[in-house]
Amino acid sequence: MKSTPLAEWLLAQGLTSDAGQRNAMPMNRRLFERIREAILHGQLQPGQKLPASRELANELGVGRNTVMHAYERLDDEGYTASQVGSGTFVNNTVPDPTVLPRLQQASDPRTLTQQASPASALSDRALRLIARAGASEYQVGAFVPGVPDVAHFPHAIWNRLVAKTCRNPSADLMGYGSSRGYPPLKRALAEYLRLARGVRCDDDQVVITQGAHQALDLCARVLADPGDEAWIEDPCYWGARSVFDAAGLKLRAIPVDQDGLLPPAQGATQKGEPRIIFVTPSHQYPSGVVMSLARRRLLLEIARRAGAWIIEDDYDSEFRYRNLPLPSLQGLDAHGRTIYIGSFSKSLYPGLRLGFMVLPEPLVDAFTRSQSELYRGGHLLLQSALAEFIRDGHYAAHVRRMRKIYGQRQALLAAELKRQLGGRGRVLGSEAGLHLTFALNDATDTAVEATALERGIIARPLSPYYALPEFAPHGLVLGYGDVADERIKPAVATLAAALDAADAQKHRHHRQ
Ligand SMILES: Cc1ncc(COP(=O)(O)O)c(C=O)c1O
């Protein structure tokens, strides 16, 4: 720009006649942005001197303060350096070519042009995660699985406890906190879990997490290395599969029968293989199977012999409708191989993002240190309110009330499915939780999902929960937690219409 004075260039760029949005900006900001552009695009070169502020102001017909403000900001952000007495100079911020890697060959899949397409810019891990993503975009209404009905949440009590905690909190409640979680909440939880779930633990073994997913992620990272084998259930909760896969574990899908996960004969071939066994014994997700006592004992013995860790995800055990709940698998474990995981996502609300783990004593220190390193802590105000909520009996009362409501919805849904769709499949796993599974006789579940969605109904297909969806049984995973009683009958009627539409499409397709 030596031959073109800066003022002339700025005027040619329309500095003082900018229309639209830029005009809404104060002049000093416009001037700053234009000079910055000139530096970044090379019109102003490193070392070049900017005109004195008075001179530039005169040439542009603006106040001197305007130019001085723009120059100050250029200095502050490192584009220029001002030396008293000698002026303002453009800094050298151009990347040094000698330290830049050379551009890769065009045949390299990660060349710059190909990176412009997001897929090739992503890691293999992210591509796998996205290809098999299970989280639903839609989280309300019939029949989204696993979502509680927050209309019945005791807002007044909860708000009072949260307001009380937030009114004048101590400094520790505003900090990261001890990574083990807020001690009164750990105490309240340990007491609750010993009584309600037969978990063997004292307060110190309880670690508060931001939901079950974070607990699973910690388990994967603290207990296994990339390439280590993890057994998952087949079908499996998509969240566990995603978390373990993203941690680089080698996943082995183990079939689930009517007694729960069925370990292969001699499946654990050597010590340390598998490292992790993930199970949902109280209510298998998504099939609904409850693991038998014999299978629990077998699994514990395998874990002991192989030196594996069992991860017991007890995500919705609060809601059991007929028989008394079987106590936790952890409670049966005499050898400290089980990590118990729980969540408040179903029993309170998912956005709370609070869950917990009960760890074997020797693992507590490693887990809490790792948790601090990876995720820090926090949420202590909520943890404090929750501790009081549990201690004062509101949690147990809420769970009791919701158990009745969900039990009724579950019975209604099962009855309507039998009545309206009896000839097309059968209901599985209706003892507990917030969802049931409708095994389809001959419809294609992914096709039904699409025709149901067109009619405003969420009908999760069962087959993608399997390791090999193309060989999997077809069914629909139907949540009733967030469906009011009076919505169930019409929603099942809409689902029946969606099944008819999927059938019609299939027949049309066959005829073509
Ligand atoms: C099997 C299973 N585990 C855990 C969770 C809850 O995870 P989080 O506590 O991270 O919300 C769910 C929720 O759908 C689930 O289905």
Q: pLDDT digit of tens for each residue in the chain (512 aa)?
A: 654 588 888 888 888 775 555 567 889 999 999 999 999 998 899 999 999 999 999 999 999 999 999 999 999 999 999 988 899 999 998 888 888 888 765 555 555 455 556 667 899 999 999 998 888 777 788 999 989 999 999 999 999 999 999 999 998 899 887 767 899 999 999 999 999 999 999 999 999 999 999 999 999 999 999 999 999 999 999 999 999 999 999 999 999 999 999 999 877 666 668 999 999 999 999 999 999 999 999 999 999 999 999 999 999 888 988 877 789 999 999 999 999 999 999 999 999 999 999 999 999 999 999 999 999 888 899 999 999 999 999 999 999 999 999 999 999 999 999 999 999 999 987 778 999 999 999 999 999 999 999 999 999 999 999 999 999 999 999 999 999 999 999 999 999 999 999 989 888 877 76
pLDDT on residue 153: 97
- Residue located nearest, by CA, to atom 6 of ligand 1: 212
Distance of CA 278 to the CA centre of its chain: 18
Question: Residues near ligand 1 with C-beta < 6 Å?
Answer: 146, 211-213, 237, 239, 280, 285, 313, 315, 343, 345, 350, 355
Q: Helix (H, G, I), strand (E, B), or coil: what is residue 110?
A: coil
User: 244 CA distance to ligand 1 centroid (A)?
Assistant: 14
- Tell me the C-alpha distance between 18 and 21, whole Å: 8
User: 302 CA distance to ligand 1 centroid (A)?
Assistant: 25
pLDDT on residue 18: 59
Retrieve residue 241's tokens. Answer: 């599969």
Annotate 17-83 with three-state secondary structure.
HCCHHHHHCCHHHHHHHHHHHHHHCCCCCCCCEECCHHHHHHHHCCCHHHHHHHHHHHHHCCCEEEE
pLDDT on residue 222: 98
pLDDT on residue 135: 84
pLDDT on residue 3: 44
- Residue located nearest, by CA, to atom 2 of ligand 1: 315
User: 213 CA distance to ligand 1 centroid (A)?
Assistant: 7
Which spans in 198-248 are helix H? 211-223, 238-246
- The order of strands in the sheet holding 435-440 is 425-428, 435-440, 475-479, 460-461
Give helix then strand counts, H and E, for the chain: 18, 15
User: 151 CA distance to ligand 1 centroid (A)?
Assistant: 20
Separation in Å, CA 101 to CA 40, 97, 104, 121, 324: 21, 8, 8, 17, 65
DSSP letter assigned to residue 138: -
